[in-house]
Chain A
Amino acid sequence: MTTPTSAAPDREPLVVVRNLSKWYGAHQVLHNVSMEVNRSEVLCIIGPSGSGKSTLLRCVNFLEDFAEGEVRVGGRLLGYREDLKGRRVPDSRENVARVRRGISMVFQQFNLWPHLSVLENVAQPLVVVQRKPRAEAEAKARQVLDRVGLAAKLDAYPNQLSGGQQQRVGIARALAIDPELILFDEPTSALDPELVGEVLQVIKRLADDGLTMVVVTHEMGFAAQVADRVIFIDHGAIVEQGPPQTLFRNPGSERLAQFLETWVERNQIFTDAPSVADGGKVL
C-alpha cells in the first residue's frame, strides 16, 4: 500500500480512524475500516453505490454512530469516551460538538435551510454556534459567498437558486466556520449534469488553496485530477488506496479493475483514448 504524499509529513494526521465497524441491524455496513486524513490532503473515497463510503464519511463527523473502533480528530476521541471502568460509552452532545468543531460538511442534498436567505444560511451558524456578532458573521458570510461566486445572490432564498448554486451555498456555509477539514458527501450526485462542472470547479479551487478535504464522489475524472490519495471501498471495506495515478492506471485488485471498467465504458463515447487518469472532460 502506498503512503500518501502529505504537505506536512512530520505532523500527526488530522483524523485517524481505527478498526471502525458498523452494523445496521444484522447487516454489517463497515468492516474494520482504518484510515487517516493528513493535513492539507485531498482524499477521495470512491466505490460502488451502497459500498458504505457515505456512511464512513458520516462516521468521521459522528452523524452516524458506530459499534466498534474509534475516530480521533486532532488526537481527541470523537463520539465515545471511556467511563471510569474503562467501558466505551457515548460522549455528551456538547463534547461531540467540541471535538468536531473544526470539521464541516457539504451534503449530497445540500441541506440548506429553506426559510433563510443565502446570506443567513451561511452566517447563522456563526451567530448561533460561535456566538459572533451578527455584523461580523455577515461580513464573513459575504466573503466566503464571494469566494464561491455567489456575491450577487445574498438575498435570494435557496428555492430560487439552481442546484449548482445551492451546492455552492452549501460549500460557502462549510467554509465560513474556518474549518480544518471539509467533508464532501457526494457533492455533485444530486445535480443535473450541466451543473456538475461549476461545483467541481469550486472544490478544485479550494483544494489548490490547501484545504484539507475528504470527498466521497462518483466523479472519477475529478478524483484523478484533484486527489492526493484515493481510497476504494467495496462492501464496507477498504480494498485499496494510493495516489490516483497508481490506482487508476494499475488497479491492484480485480474488484477495482472491474469498477473502473464500467466507468470507462460509460465514458467511452466522449473519448477516443479511454485513459481514466486523464479525467475525461469533467472540468
Chain B
Amino acid sequence: MIDFSIFTDAWPSLLSGFLLTVEIWLAGCALAMAIGAPLGFLLAAGRRPTKALVRAYVEFFRGTPLLVQLFVLYYAGPSIGITLDALPAGIIGLGLYGGAYCTEIVCAGLEAIPPGQIGAARAFGYSRSQTLRHIVVPQMLVLVLPPLVNIAIFVLKDTAILSIITVPELTFQVTGLTLDTFAFVEPYLALSVGYWVLVELTASLGRRAEIRAARYLETSA
C-alpha cells in the first residue's frame, strides 16, 4: 500500500533539499552561461589558437560523464591543490559541464547570422559592439533560446548527481528517507514529481520567451 504518512516528519529535510536543488540549478546555469557566452563568441570569431583552446575545453567536458568530472574535481582535486567543499565543487562542475554545451550553442547561433547583414551594418558605419547589440544578438536569441532551455533542463536533472558527492540536495535527502523508512515507492515518486514540476515550469517559461523573441518571424508572408 502506498503510504504518504512517511512525509509527515520528513518534509522539512525534503523542503531544504528542494530549495538547495533550485539554488544549485540556478547557480550552475548562471555559471554555464557566464562561461558559454564569451567562449561561444571566441569559438565563432576568435583567433586560431584561442579557438583551439576553447575547442579543447568543449571536447573535454562534453566528452566525459559529469560524474567523472565531479570525482576529479572533488576527490582528486586536493592532490593537485584544489580543495573544495562538496557544494561549490558540485556547482563548479555543473557550470563547467553545462558551459561546454552553451559554448557550442552560442557559437552556432552566431554563425547562423548571414554575413551580408553584418556587412551591411559595417557599410552603414556600425561599430562592432553596435552590430552585436542591434543586429546579431536580437536574431541570435531566437535561435539559441530553445537549445539553451534544453540545457537548463539537463542541468536541473543533473543536479541529482551531486548527491553522490554528498551535497544535501533533493535526491540526497530522499535517498536518506528511503534508508530510514525502507519505503521506496513514495519517496522516489515524490522526488520525480519534484523534478518534473521544475522541468515543466522551465519549459513553459522558455516557450514564452521564445515566442517573444521570435515575434518578428511570426508574420511571415
A residues with CB within 8 A of B: 61, 63, 93-94, 97, 100-101, 104-105, 107, 109, 111-117, 124-125, 128-129, 156-157, 159-161, 173, 177
Contact = CB atoms under 8 A, between A and B. Distances in A.
B88 to A, nearest CB: 39
B122 A129 contact: no
Given A63-B119, A97-B125, A128 B221 contact: no
A128 B130 CA distance: 7
A62 B62 CA distance: 41
A161 B125 CA distance: 26
B47 interface: no
Contacts of A156: 219
Interface stretch (B23-31, B97-105, B131-139): B131-139
Interface of B: 114, 116-117, 119-128, 130, 134-135, 138-139, 142, 216-217, 219-221
Contact of A125 (B116, B119, B124, B128): B124
Contacts of A173: 124
Nearest to B138: A115
Interface of chain B, main secondary structure = helix
Contacts of B219: 156-157, 159-160
A157 B124 CA distance: 20
A129 B116 contact: no
A124 B216 contact: no
Nearest to A126: B124
A109 B116 contact: yes
A203 to B, nearest CB: 18
Given A93-B127, A117-B216, A177-B124, 4 more contacts: A61-B123, A100-B123, A111-B116, A125-B124
Contacts of B122: 63
A159 B142 CA distance: 16
A101 B125 CA distance: 7
Given A157-B219, A159-B220, A160-B221, A129 B126 contact: yes
B124 A104 contact: yes
28 contacts: A61-B123, A63-B123, A93-B127, A97-B125, A100-B125, A104-B123, A104-B124, A105-B120, A107-B119, A107-B120, A109-B114, A111-B117, A111-B119, A113-B120, A113-B135, A114-B117, A114-B217, A125-B124, A129-B126, A156-B219, A157-B216, A157-B219, A159-B219, A159-B221, A160-B219, A160-B221, A173-B124, A177-B124
B130 A129 contact: yes
B221 A115 contact: no
Nearest to A127: B134
A233 to B, nearest CB: 21
Contact of B139 (A61, A100, A111, A115): A115
Contacts of B134: 124, 128
A165 to B, nearest CB: 10
**A-B CB proximity, top 10 nearest:** A111-B120, A129-B125, A111-B116, A125-B124, A160-B221, A97-B125, A105-B123, A115-B216, A115-B138, A115-B139
Contacts of A101: 125
Nearest to B214: A115
